[in-house]
Chains A and B, each alone.
Chain A
């Protein structure tokens, strides 16, 4: 490990990144991309049909879209940078070397996006009458710009899971045009629309008092939903078919329904069915669609997008960049070197440089920080990742044997990278940390 390590003993490092990233995806998909599309769609309809009531609702929406995207949306977007650079510096630093110009381009689109939403919001009163079309076009440009930012960032996310030719060529364009980029982009596009319908419908149902207005809007929303779901499914399947084999095998496990594949399938089948049903109700009976149903679908789809992101992150394990770098920041091609020369001597920021008789446990702790903390805690909230619960009662010897086969026993863990002594030190530390933590009190670096 080359960088200092921050510890989140209770939350766990992965959870910190996940909270920020999932919030961002949610806001970005539901509000910035899908929401802005629904908003200009509405404004356009109001203009075509000469219905100022629709225009008013679009305007209301724009205020909330502005507030949410420029606070939570923008800051969690920056937050993904902030969190990865302090928690996974090796990964984000390497990705930045590969994708710098893609990100730089994205930045330009971001700036355009902000200027467009500000212009759109502040010109409702100014661009009316003959200039209305200009206002609508600004809204469309905004929607397109939001989508464009997703186009670029999706390339990076997809490349982490399926770097494709890049592994050999190290070429920027190979990294961008990786096997899951387009499928995941289109998949996300329709997810965004369906999600926006699900999230905005309860609010329309609740806050728009005029029944006529509400009915027109909701039946429009229903159409967006009905069109999006089939595309979402189709592109989703294309996406899945391009995943690495190992990742594919991990999907059900990643959802937490290990061994219950049938349950997994049924649950998702019904989830989609309910979304479809809402779309259907919105179209056929927009005046009487139930608030409970629309609120339920809102939460359901938020849950689904969260689940999707978590699964996507999980099935990439043990890698953070597939076949190139493990989640703990160790490159695949470094393992052999560390096995021979040792992990500690090749690291910086570790409290000790090598294992010797006096520092075995401390060395073990440093190795744990460097190689395991990226996914585990000792006793954090996520019981499956809290080693305390997993290995209670195991002896140092048993642990040592287990760690030797970490990667082969459990594909989603990286191989241990270090000398035999280092491995024993790690095992000893884990045994102590789990079975007699009181003995560790006062050890350097323990009580921070």
Chain B
């Protein structure tokens, strides 16, 4: 209760103008558009990381197949990154309009790092364009070429941390603090690194499955390349989906106690979602494993359906985490005026 009261002096009053629509509908739209956005973010981040990795591997092992895979990925990244950015606009609009009182302050508090993202992403994208368009020309300057790819990939790996800071800190107004540098903020607000780990593994897992699809198509042009891409994709997908079995619980246990309880039996909806998510993830691992062993299409198809289901469930779950955190403050909102008045009197 103390926390709530303290936070009330920092949570802004809402605007006088009404939210132009039904909140429930906005929330559905938020979850759906966010899933679309994050899907392409995943392909962009993991795509650039794996492009660099494979180019490097091809270079030192002197195997042009890996280089060809890397080039494919670099071209894909140039497409996915544009979709990732543009699809991010809708969730940004919606979260701004329905969670104004939480999202704006939390973002303003890291405002300078937030603004720097613009420059950072522009530089990252330009570097990745150089990377893509100089593939042939710089065949003999692999070091320089890799530098651009790696630079772009590393910058892209930094970006989610800032976004995570604003969406994690919006949930705990009682921790809001002015004047933190972004690197201090990464450690000041809870759950950021746990979320980041969970995101990174998801990114790689999704990319692994994407690679399988890419490799299967590649088989038509160059069967041996295709085969190699597929088997690499299988390993990546399986490994990182499996690692999520650790990253998921780590994140769950980093949540604030009473919120965590909701997911551990405290509330039917939240717990149910989590259970469904875990079951789907296990089924996904099973399908991937079967596909790796048997190479049979049916298991691939089942993995594809399951990954969509898992990502959707997790996307929704993530939203429930947010609303569970914010519920006490939202309920308090009606008392806002009174609290302000009390503050005035004292």
Contacts and interface: CB of A to CB of B under 8 A. Distances in A.
B118 A85 contact: no
B87 to A, nearest CB: 7
| SS of B interface (majority) | helix
B10 to A, nearest CB: 6
Given A67-B129, A107-B89, A107-B90, A96 B96 contact: yes
Contact of B15 (A4, A97, A104): A97
Interface in A341-361: 341, 345-346, 348-349, 353
Nearest to A80: B118
Given A70-B125, A89-B108, A353-B343, A100 B11 contact: no
A86 B115 contact: yes
A345 B89 CA distance: 36
Given A6-B112, A111-B87, A100 B122 contact: no
A104 B94 CA distance: 9
Interface string B179-217: 100000000000000000000000000000000000000
Contact of A74 (B21, B82, B114): B82
Contact of A345 (B118, B125, B179, B344): B344
B20 A348 contact: no
A349 B100 CA distance: 16
A275 to B, nearest CB: 30
Nearest to B92: A81
Contacts of A346: 340
Contacts of B121: 75
Given A2-B13, A100-B21, A345-B344, A75 B79 contact: no
Contacts of B117: 82
A107 B107 contact: no
A81 B107 CA distance: 12
A228 interface: no
Interface in A165-221: 170, 172
A75 B125 contact: yes
B20 A100 contact: yes
Contact of A93 (B90, B104, B111): B104
B79 A118 contact: yes
A16 B116 CA distance: 11
Given A3-B105, A3-B108, A89-B104, A104 B19 contact: no
Interface in A47-79: 67, 70-72, 74-76, 78-79
Interface string A362-373: 000000000000
Interface string A426-448: 00000000000000000000001
B122 A114 contact: no
Contacts of A107: 86, 89-90, 93
B85 A104 contact: no
Contacts of A122: 79
Given A16-B115, A97-B97, A86 B107 contact: yes
Contacts, number: 131
A417 interface: no
Contact of B107 (A5, A85, A348): A85
Nearest to A74: B85
A110 interface: yes
B275 interface: no
Interface string B76-90: 000101110111111
Interface in A25-62: none
B20 A172 contact: yes
A93 B85 contact: no
B5 interface: no
A448 B10 contact: no
Given A75-B121, A110-B86, A114-B83, A85 B96 contact: yes
B118 A71 contact: no
A403 B304 CA distance: 66
Contact of B16 (A78, A331, A448): A331
A76 to B, nearest CB: 7
A136 interface: no
Contacts of B111: 6, 86-87
A100 B81 CA distance: 25
B18 interface: yes
28 contacts: A3-B12, A3-B108, A4-B108, A6-B108, A6-B111, A70-B125, A71-B125, A79-B115, A81-B96, A83-B118, A85-B104, A86-B111, A92-B96, A93-B96, A93-B100, A93-B104, A96-B96, A97-B18, A97-B20, A101-B21, A110-B86, A111-B83, A111-B86, A111-B87, A114-B86, A346-B340, A348-B9, A348-B10
Counting from the closest, the 4 A-B pairs by CB-CB distance are A2-B12, A86-B111, A97-B17, A79-B118
Interface of A: 2-6, 16, 20, 67, 70-72, 74-76, 78-79, 81-83, 85-87, 89-90, 92-94, 96-98, 100-101, 103-104, 107, 110-111, 113-115, 118, 122, 170, 172, 331, 341, 345-346, 348-349, 353, 448
